[in-house]
Chain A
Amino acid sequence: MKKRNIYLLIFILILFGFALWSIVPINTKLLGPNGLTLGLDLRGGSQLLYKADLSKKDPSVTDSQAMSSVIEKIQRRVNQYGTTEPVIQKQGTDQILVQLPGVKDIREAISLIGKTALLDFREQKLDENGSPVLDDKGNWVFEDESAKAAGRDGKERELTGEYLNHARMDMDPYEGPVVVIEWDSEGGYLFEKITERNLHKPLAIFLDNEEISAPVVQSIIRAGTAGQIEGHFTIEEAENLAIQLNSGALDVPLTISGQENVDPSLGADSIQKSKQAAIIGIILLLLFMIVYYRLPGLIACISLGIYGTFLLAIFSAFPITLTLSGIAGAILSLGMAVDANVLIFERMKEELRTGRTLGATVEAGFDRAWTAIRDSNITTFIACAVLIWLGTSATFHASMVSGFAVTLFIGVALSMFTAIVITRTFLRLIVSSRLITNAAAYGVRT
């Protein structure tokens, strides 16, 4: 029993050392210590300003309709890109302001957001004799118009990204990263007709009026089967193209008109003050625990310190982009970690008053408090799981909801570990070492 506790203590200390190392950047070149990733509200980020060319819009819609449609599509792109709580808003009549936290490759982000992503197919241009037209370099030349076919209702339709059901990146054994596209039923029908007509001929794939590849149609692609876009992409390019195709082509072309680095939206001054306030609050909390619960309180403070270190280490390892909503989840989980300790100590006091030995008290305290900790934490887990699931789902997207739930979930899981493993190991070791046996040290008057 005692040996096991010593092994556990060593295990905890090794974990703690590792966690501490991972959040305190000693040498940033080594793996690991990259610190915390903070969101737009806490650290700031990149601000992009786009200008929309409203003269190119579909005349049947109003300017503001075209703008809201573009903004909605940009939102989808940014969300799929995995950005935490971005700011996307219309400014004036034709500008779109996008603020993104800590983007690794800003040029990639600019093109991901601003590219129109109009996908279409073009057939080979033929001369009067029916033989392919070639340019001066001997390459095939394609028609200027999108490939058309008669739809299910007999009307001629251009096959564009509009008929796309879903696009995703895939690895092709010969081509490397490609984008696999699934058409909706009308798109599949059009694609079947077009591939049938162009069997054994090249069919060019155009994105924003630029040819990205021109594979030769090997077989008729029947409706219901997936197509594939090849273009010597890198993995990132293929992923971003899939995101753009899924979000739909932008209604009007955008040009980037400004790029800035902005400070946190909560204000550097305000964040500084809040940090100090949080430190004061935590010191008060720790003092309260020590004054009220004495020795167990002190142990709780140590295990809460370890808890905080672990929590930050997990946040920086994933990494999780922390925003105010994430911090709120973390604060709540800190409250629950304290609560778990309070529950255990209150139980221990009750047991001590009945005159049990210290060793029996520690065990009974943990056993009795366990059902309360278990049920309240599982309830929180379930609620968090629902919030994460809904918060990240494409139709529902609310990243502040999922941001809150993710940190709360991690924090509560960790708080269970802190109370049940760390605090208990410490208490067992102290009690079995018989260093401190005075009941007053455990907060009970004898």
Chain B
Amino acid sequence: MIDFVGKKRWFFLISAIAIIVAIISLAVFKLQPGIDFAGGTSTTINLTPKVERSESPQLQAQLRQEMTEFGHPEAIIQFQRKTSDFFVRMKFMSPEEVNELEDRLEGVFHRDVEISVPLEMSPTIAAKTAHNAGIAVGIAAIATLLYIAWAFRRMTKPFRWGTCAIIALIHDVLIVIGIFSILGKVANVEVDAMFITGLLAVVGYSINNTVVVFDRIRENMSKGISPDFAVTVNSSLIETLQRSLNTSLTTLCVILALFLFGGATIHHFILVLLIGLLAGTYSSLFIAGPLLVVWEKGEWRQLFSWLPFVRKPV
């Protein structure tokens, strides 16, 4: 039998490094706000001869490709059916850039291209909305903690179970945000409204996974399979391993297909789900359960004994 719980320090170490890197990156690089949060400019692109309704999706795909190569992958492009123009919202664009883009598009489309004077646009999502979403998730997490504590009320310390589930959740969310902060720095990846939605899904996935693992520990506790809590947790992890892997693999099928073959506009959104799925599977197996063991056995101090200022256990 593999001893997962015995290797818990390694798992904690990996997570601790990931989280510290995430926090440092967040503090230093922050997140790159997309046009949903930061605003930008809007313009209409008109082609002559005019774009027919039937050719608009194909031309739009081409236009997005050109905008991406022109340094505006964030552009939201909408075809306007009455005027047959493309309405484009993007980050700030100067008049010189507009001229350059006009020439470039004329070369690609072999039509006359006219781009209207860009107008400044305010954010569509106030910082307050993102803030509110955060508070809503916080309150939802507290409600979840209370329910888990109630569901595990037969256990000796039910609140520990709820707390460990929430720690696993924070772990997953921090890793996703941290990676996006790094990607923002190195690849100019921006966060938008879809990012918030993606985080919500990560939260839901994380809680679901942890509860399933905890359920098995609870069952094995009441069966009394071992007097040693660490052994109970370890066999529960092994028993649920197949289920955890299979559930993750099935979800991964869908997410990976969307990531590899899906449209460019949801690429970053799917990336949030992908990272969240991996982090969530990891934390439900190697963080939430082992944390319970550490807490149960009072090994907190031992865990931090490598720190110079922590008193060594006797």
Residues of A within 8 A of B (CB): 44, 47, 68, 71, 87-93, 95, 97, 259-274, 276-278, 280-282, 284-285, 288-289, 292, 324-325, 328-329, 331-332, 334-336, 338-339, 342-343, 346, 350, 368, 371-372, 375-376, 378-380, 382-387, 390-391, 396-398, 400-401, 404-405, 408
Contacts and interface: CB of A to CB of B under 8 A. Distances in A.
B26 interface: no
B243 A398 contact: no
A41 to B, nearest CB: 9
A383 B143 contact: yes
B144 A382 contact: yes
Contact of A89 (B124, B132, B196, B198): B124
B257 interface: yes
B226 interface: no
B305 interface: no
Given A277-B262, A284-B257, A339-B247, 10 more contacts: A89-B122, A267-B64, A267-B263, A270-B266, A281-B257, A285-B250, A324-B269, A379-B211, A383-B141, A391-B136
A29 B242 CA distance: 50
A387 B246 CA distance: 29
Given A335-B205, A336-B208, A391-B136, A97 B42 contact: yes
Residue from A269, A334, A397 having most chain B Cβ neighbours under 10 A:
A269
Contact of B79 (A90, A268, A338, A383): A268
Contacts of A371: 215, 218-219
B80 interface: yes
B217 to A, nearest CB: 11
A343 B241 CA distance: 11
B262 to A, nearest CB: 4
Contacts of B249: 288
Interface residues of B, number: 79
A67 to B, nearest CB: 8
B215 A332 contact: no
B121 A90 contact: yes
Interface of B: 39, 42, 56-58, 60-61, 64, 76-83, 87, 119-124, 129, 132-133, 135-137, 139-141, 143-144, 147-148, 151, 193-194, 196-198, 200-201, 203-205, 207-208, 211-212, 214-216, 218-219, 239, 242-243, 246-247, 249-251, 253-258, 260-266, 269, 273
8 contacts: A267-B64, A272-B263, A274-B263, A281-B258, A328-B198, A335-B254, A378-B147, A400-B193
Contacts of B258: 274, 277-278, 281
A368 B151 CA distance: 16
